[in-house]
Structure 1
Amino acid sequence: MLITFTSKAAAEVTMYKEHAKRMLDLIGKDVSRGVITAAEAPRAVEVLEKEIAESRKHQASDDVQRDIHAHHGEVNEDKDHEGMEVVSFATRAYPLLEMLRAARNGGHDVLWGV
């Protein structure tokens, strides 16, 4: 399922619900429907920036774990596989983070599910 974030401050941002949930959980918002007010935007930006910085510290180990689970199962070993292309949390969060920055700077709310 997709979630579309809207704001007068920026163009719409659409992402998968499962990816949006992680970001909204960090901010303390419901994934189904909600609002981040202009007053809440500075804290939301701060929280996402902090999580992005933290996720970058552990990126290599996360990639290795995903690769192990994807290609080494109980049935067979896939030793001749192509490398996985991983989309980092920072990359997924960037469009929403930019929208939140614009909303904070312009004094606008960010809405979804309405």
Structure 2
Amino acid sequence: MLVTFKSKAAADVVMYESHAKPILDMLHKDIKRGVITAAESADAVALIEKQIDSSKAHEAAEALERDVHAHHNANGDDNGHEKIEPVTFSARAYPLLDMLREAKKGNYDVLWGV
């Protein structure tokens, strides 16, 4: 299922529900329908930025763990594995974060599920 975020401040942002849910849970918002008011946008931006910083700190450790598992599997060293390139939290959250920043500047709300 898709979630479409709307605001007069920016173009619509469309995300899969499974990707939007962690962000909305962090903001204590319902996935089905809701609003981040202009007054709430500053706090929402700060929370998302904090989570992005936190997730970036763990990216190197996660990449190392994936590499170790790929090279030291049950069959021994595997040099022919494909590189795993996961989409990071920051990449998934950035369009909504950008929308929230613009909404904050223009004093607009961000809505979804309407």
- TM-score tier, shorter chain, comes to 0.7 to 0.9
CA RMSD of aligned residues (A): 2.3
Residue number in structure 2 paired with 1:18: 18
Deviation per CA, 1:2-49, whole angstroms, max 9, x where unpaired? 111000000000011111001111111011110000010000000000
- How high is the TM-score relative to the length of structure 2? 0.86
Distance 1:78 1:87, change over 3 A: farther
Residue number in structure 2 paired with 1:33: 33
**Amino acid of the structure 2 residue aligned with 1:86:** P
Measure the CA separation in 2 of the matches of 1:69 and 1:17: 30
Aligned-pair identity in percent equals 57
Measure the CA separation in 2 of the matches of 1:69 and 1:43: 38
- List alignment gaps of at least 5 residues for structure 1: none
Q: If you compute each CA radius of gyration, which structure gives the higher value, 1 or 2?
A: 2
Using the TM superposition, give the Cα deviation of residue 73 of structure 1 relative to its aligned residue in structure 2, in angstroms.
8.4
Measure the CA separation in 2 of the matches of 1:88 and 1:107: 29
- How high is the TM-score relative to the length of structure 1? 0.86
Residue number in structure 1 paired with 2:49: 49
Residue number in structure 2 paired with 1:62: 62
Measure the CA separation in 2 of the matches of 1:23 and 1:69: 29
* Structure 1 runs of 4+ with >2 Å offset: 61-70, 76-80
Measure the CA separation in 2 of the matches of 1:57 and 1:4: 29
Q: Does the 8 Å contact 1:63/1:86 carry over to 2?
A: no
